[in-house]
Amino acid sequence: MTDKPVFRPISDYIWEAEPVGDMRVPARVFASKKLWDLIQRDNSLKQLCNVATLPGIVGWALAMPDIHEGYGFPIGGVAAFRVEDGIISPGGVGYDINCGVRVAVTNLTQKDLEGKVERLADILFETVPTGVGAHGAIRKLSREELRQVVVRGARWAVEEGFGTSEDLKHTEENGCLAGADPDKISHRAYERGADQLGTLGSGNHFAEVDVIDEVYDGAAARRLGLSVGQVVYQIHCGSRGFGHQICDDYLGVMYRAVQKYGIRLPDRQLVCAPLSSPEAQDYLAAMRGAANFAWCNRQIIMALMAQAFQKALGISPRDLGARLLYDVCHNIAKIEEHVIDGSRVKVCVHRKGATRAFPPGRPEVPADYRDIGQPVLIPGDMGRVSYVLLGKPKAMELTFGSSCHGAGRVMSRAQAKRVAAHRNIERELREMGIIVRGESRATIDEEMSEAYKDVSEVVEVVHQTGISTKLMRLRPVCVIKG
């Protein structure tokens, strides 16, 4: 882009740049003044304005308050493209297709964990494989079994004995996006995914035990059977090497498509294809398969964690009472209908590091949550808190039904490790009452709290703008890092 967009505040929590150069729509960022100062430190705003140049984009190129630099699209980015003349871009979904968060509720209280957290952490770490090459949580799957996972998603795990059909009702898309095609996925992707179901992977992925330490909406919390002091656990992971390979494969396809269809790009990382093209349809079919793999993965990990709780605490499944509150994805592209300039338009919504936040009454929200809105799951860093919010109507007006997805990094992993070099992060967390387990010291150091924005500030932005409102806050007591 030759012209540099200028962002100006249009409210206390919204910053906007009018279109300049090749931008087709404005770029809009949701942020407080404090977060805005942090956001300007990397290239994410330039990336957002680049997204605004893509064919068929409608409304705005949007960024949530946890925005930071990513591949092509910024992480925290949301963009919608008309189906008839818009595009789909793997950079708008990300390498970890359907990276997402799952929160399960238990019958336990904080008192039930007293004196047992160390043992629980050890058994969780033994039970849920972590790290870059993690494998072996369940048996290595055959090609035909993996093809079934691609098509059936979390239901495959339930039918294999991991959880119950009730879990599917509280999973976005019931744990399975329709339209996945196993034939659009490469041999290499199947090889990489064969023994990775039930594993966390690496990076910012985690399995965590939390206690509800504050409730903001008492009526909704009672409606969901939630109360202060209750133990919950959450999982943050995605489609592992399976989804990574699919993204990598289709970036190559899209590089060629850009040339074939004569699409001008300000950044080659935004490679894309017209939604009507065979390249786009093939990518959608493969991406949906990766999304279904990820839902199956989190379904299995939820069941493995329940087994670890039972072993560590010496309790029965009935005593534990684990049930899924909700599961949301935050790296996905979906065909949805939204109101654009007063008319209902079918669009492809890219949410990369952004979470769906549909309000009460939407048919996509589980039937037993439809009167209060979709749960929106926002994890923080391992030394601070996480939140559960509820989707609100304002999200449909402002963000194509989207919200933030987490805290958002402010340090690279290398920088975090340099800062932590002369500290003992594990000991610091222990002194705060948080037990952490990781593959190595480096794994823990690169995820130190200072590497992230304060999730409470991020959440306050979406709460104040009415995109999604606070339901409850979770405090970590035990963290297993990928």
What's the CATH code, domain 100-250+270-334+356-481? Answer: 3.90.1860.10
pLDDT in tens, 268-297: 999 999 999 999 999 999 999 999 999 999
**Distance of alpha carbon 302 from alpha carbon 293, whole angstroms:** 14
At which residue do the structure tokens 């990928």 appear? 482
Q: Are 167 and 158 in contact, with CB atoms under 8 Å apart?
A: yes
pLDDT in tens, 254-267: 999 999 999 999 99
Q: Are 149 and 296 in contact, with CB atoms under 8 Å apart?
A: yes
pLDDT in tens, 124-152: 999 998 866 666 677 789 999 999 999 99
For residue 236, indicate whether it is catalytic: no
- Chain centroid offset of residue 328 CA: 7
Which residues have C-beta within 8 Å of that of residue 287, sequence separation ≥ 6? Answer: 90, 93, 97, 246, 250, 332, 333
Expressed in percent and rounded to 5, the helix, strand and coil fractions of the chain are: 40, 25, 35
- Locate the domains of the chain by residue range: 100-250+270-334+356-481
How many residues comprise the chain? Answer: 482
Average pLDDT over every residue of 221-249: 97
pLDDT in tens, 396-412: 999 999 999 999 999 99
Name the DSSP letter for residue 138. S
Average pLDDT over every residue of 299-325: 97
Q: Are 404 and 354 in contact, with CB atoms under 8 Å apart?
A: yes
pLDDT value of position 1: 46
Q: Which of 205, 350, 405, 463 is catalytic?
A: 405
Q: What are phi and psi of 375, to 5 degrees?
A: -60, 135
**Distance of alpha carbon 382 from alpha carbon 59, whole angstroms:** 35
- CA terminus-to-terminus distance, the chain: 38
Instruction: State the CB neighbour count (10 A cutoff) for residue 447.
Output: 27
Average pLDDT over every residue of 374-401: 97
Q: For the chain, what percent of residues have pLDDT higher than 90? A: 95
Examine the pLDDT at 454 and tell me if it is beyond 70: yes
Instruction: State the CB neighbour count (10 A cutoff) for residue 399.
Output: 28
